[in-house]
Amino acid sequence: MHIPFARKYRPRFFGEVVGQETPVRILQNAVKNDRVSHAYLFAGPRGVGKTTLARILAKALNCKNPKDGEPCGECENCREIEKGSFPDLIEMDAASNRGIDDIRSVREAVNYTPIKGKTKVYIIDEAHMLTKEAFNALLKTLEEPPLRTVFILCTTEYEKIIPTILSRCQRIILSRVPDDKIVSYLRMICQRENINCPEEVLKMIAHVSDGCLRDAASLLDQVSVIPDKELDINSAEELLGIISLERVHQFMALLLDSKVDEAIEFLRDIYRRGFNLTRFWEVLEEEVRNLILCKSLKDPKKVLEDTSICEKFKDADLTRLLYLENLISRGRLEARSRPPIRAYELAVIKTILIKEIISIEEALRTSPGRTEKEETIIDKLRHTLSPVAFKALEEAKREERNSETVFILDEETYDAFRSEFEKVKTAFGGGVDFKVIKKKEKMKRSSTSLFGS
C-alpha cells in the first residue's frame, strides 16, 4: 500500500527537521542539558513541523539511549512513539475535544506518574480552539505543573492564545520554510523513491506550497504518478492545474517586449487548457512587483527571498515595469466586472505601448553618441514628457543657442507644467532651457529667463 510522502517522510530526529534551525537548537539543547520546560507553545503556519517536533521532543525525553539530545530511534520507547502506541504520550486535538471535561480528565491523569517512560508528554493540537473554561482548567495545571510532565500546545493562531497561558509557556516559533530548503527536501524524497523529477518541477511545487512542507510533499506525491519519461514541467502543470513561475516569466518577457500577438496566444492557451487564470494573473502581478523591488532597492536580498528574477530581467527598465504593473493591476480590478479573460486580454493589448516608452535615463544614455538628425531634442522630449506638456512645448517658440534648445513660454503655461519642465532640464543637463515671459511684458517685447543664462 502506498504511504503518502507527507507521512512517510515525517522527520524522526531533530537533525532531519527542515528549515527550523532555531527551534531545533533550543529544544535539543534543553534535552541535552536537562533544562526542558514544563510547558511549550509551538506556534507557526500549518505543515511546518509543529506536531513533528513535538513528537521528536517526546521521543528524546523518553529514549533509553539518547545521544546529544537526539533520540536513538531504536529502543522500545522510541519505536512505540513512532507507532503511536506509547502510553505516556498523549495527543489531544483541541478542535474536536474542546471541552472542559477533556481537560479535567487530563488534570486527573496528570497526577499519575509515567507508566513506562521517564516523562509524560501531552501534545494539545490546535490549542487556540479550546474553550475558555477548558483554558482556565488547563491554566490551573500549568500553574502547578506535576513532576515529569511536559505540555506542548500547538497552534496556527498564536494571537488567539490568552495571555495568561502565554506567560506560562515557553514560546517556540516555527516559520514558513524558504523555497530552496523545500526543494532540497523534495530532492531527498525523489532520491529515496527513485523519482526522476526535473528541478523546475520541484521549484514550481516549492513556490506554490508557500512554505508548507506538508503541501510540498503531497504535491510531489501527486506528480509522482506521471511516468518518469513524461514527467516534465508541462505535464506537472497540467496535472496540478498550476502554471510554473518559469512560464509566468516567459509571459512577462513577451509583455515587456510588446509582443502582443504571442502574449494573447499564450493567455488563450492556458485558458483553453483550463488553468485558473485569476491565480495566474495574481502570480504575474506578484512577480512584476518583485522585479520592481529588485530594480528600486539597494539590497533586494533583504526583502526578497528569491532574487533570481533580478538576474533574469537585468535589462528591464523601471519606467516600463511601472507602466506594466499599472496595467496588470487595472486588469485585475476589471476582471471583477467582466469575464477575466477579456479583462486580461485588454491589458495585454495595452502593453503594445511599452516599446514606445523611453525612460529619462535611456534618453540621456543615447544622446551623446548620436547625431542630431537621428535623435533630436524634440523626439526625446516627446517620450519623456506627458502628452499635454509636450504639446505645449511643441507649440511654443524656440531658439537654438549653441547646443541648447530654449523654449519660450508664457508664465501660465510654464507654471502649469513647472515640475515636468524642471525635471527635464536637470535630466537633459544643459541641452534644454526655458525662457519665461510675463504676459504683460510680452507687449513690451522684453523677456526674463527664469534660470538666467
Ligand X SMILES: Nc1ncnc2c1ncn2[C@@H]1O[C@H](COP(=O)(O)OP(=O)(O)OP(=O)(O)O)[C@@H](O)[C@H]1O
- For 7, other C-beta atoms within 10 Å of its C-beta total 11
- For CA atoms 209, 214, 220, 225, give the dihedral sign: negative
Residue 149 or 156: which CB sits closer to Mg ion?
156
Q: Which listed residue (15, 21, 25, 46) binds ligand X by CB under 6 A?
A: 46
Q: Which of 51, 276, 319, 359 binds Mg ion (CB under 5 A)?
A: 51
Q: Where does residue 249 rank: exposed (0-12), middle (13-18), buried (19+ CB within 10 A)?
A: middle
Q: Does 117 bind Zn ion (CB under 5 A)?
A: no
63: contact with Zn ion by CB under 5 A: yes
Q: Which is nearer to Zn ion, 56 or 197 (CB)?
A: 56
Which has the closest alpha carbon to 19: 54, 42, 48, 57? Answer: 48
Residue from the set 14, 19, 80, 348 that interacts with ligand X by CB under 6 A: 19
The answer to whether residue 78 forms part of the interface with Zn ion (CB under 5 A) is yes
Q: Which of 217, 260, 277, 393 binds ligand X (CB under 6 A)?
A: 217
91 binds Mg ion (CB under 5 A): no
Q: Which does 63 bind (CB under 5 to 8 A by kind): Zn ion, ligand X, Mg ion, none?
A: Zn ion
Closest distance of CB 235 from ligand X, Å = 24
Return the residue nearest Mg ion (CB atom): 51
Query: Residue 292 Cβ, how far from ligand X at the closest point, in Å?
Result: 32
Residue 348 C-alpha cell reads as 495585454
> Counting Cβ atoms within 10 Å, is residue 132 exposed (0-12), middle (13-18) or buried (19+)?
exposed
> Is residue 125 within 8 Å of residue 92, measured between CB atoms?
yes
Q: Find which of Zn ion, Mg ion, ligand X, none residue 78 binds, CB within 5 to 8 Å per kind.
A: Zn ion
Q: Does 47 bind ligand X (CB under 6 A)?
A: yes
By the criterion CB under 6 A, which residues form the site for ligand X?
6-7, 9-11, 17-20, 46-52, 125, 156, 185, 213-214, 217
By the criterion CB under 5 A, which residues form the site for Zn ion?
63, 71-72, 75, 78
By the criterion CB under 5 A, which residues form the site for Mg ion?
50-51
